[in-house]
């Protein structure tokens, strides 16, 4: 059994969208997914505002991680923000999530980022426990805010 992580490329939009929808089902938020293959293509490959890693077991797609770079004014360095990490349920417990996270950490180091950050739903204790085992620290003194920008 071979494990491969690669950057996404044009033509991967349908696969990425399928992972996004699988994640949305898991998070009970499928009704919020409005992204299309065309929008993914534009954001990932035309504007290059975000990046996506794809994970495979042999030829079988098993997971993805979508990320982008932000900037810390305090550190004066870019940071890597992990928007989504998802491994299909039937492939969990095999180390794929860990390999994706470590691959992202390597990207952050190569890009001289000051930190890597992400958000986790409060009820997602399997993910929270996994991230803590990986050495991540919860930012309990911060509250995430969101404002929708009208189209």
Q: What would the pLDDT profile of 62-119 be if each residue is shown by its tens digit?
A: 999 999 999 999 999 999 999 999 999 999 999 999 999 999 999 999 999 999 999 9
For the segment 9-33, the average pLDDT, to the nearest whole number, is 97
Q: What CATH code would you report for 3-133?
A: 3.40.630.30
pLDDT for res 137 = 96
Predicted structure pTM score? 0.94
Cα four-point dihedral sign 108, 111, 58, 36: positive
Q: Which residues are catalytic?
A: 131
């Amino acid at each position: 059994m071979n494990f491969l992580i690669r950057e996404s490329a044009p033509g991967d939009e349908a696969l990425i969208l399928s992972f996004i929808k699988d994640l949305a089902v898991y998070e009970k938020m499928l009704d919020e997914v409005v992204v299309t293959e065309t929008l993914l293509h534009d954001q990932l490959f035309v504007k290059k505002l975000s990046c996506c890693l794809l994970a495979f077991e042999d030829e079988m797609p098993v997971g993805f991680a979508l990320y982008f770079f932000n900037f810390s004014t305090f550190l004066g360095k870019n940071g890597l923000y992990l928007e989504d990490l998802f491994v299909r349920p039937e492939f969990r417990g095999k180390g794929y999530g860990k390999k994706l996270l470590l691959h992202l950490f390597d990207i952050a180091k190569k890009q001289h980022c000051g930190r890597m950050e992400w958000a986790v739903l409060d009820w997602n204790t399997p993910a929270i426990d996994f991230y803590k085992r990986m050495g991540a620290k919860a930012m309990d003194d911060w509250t995430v805010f969101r404002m929708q920008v009208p189209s």
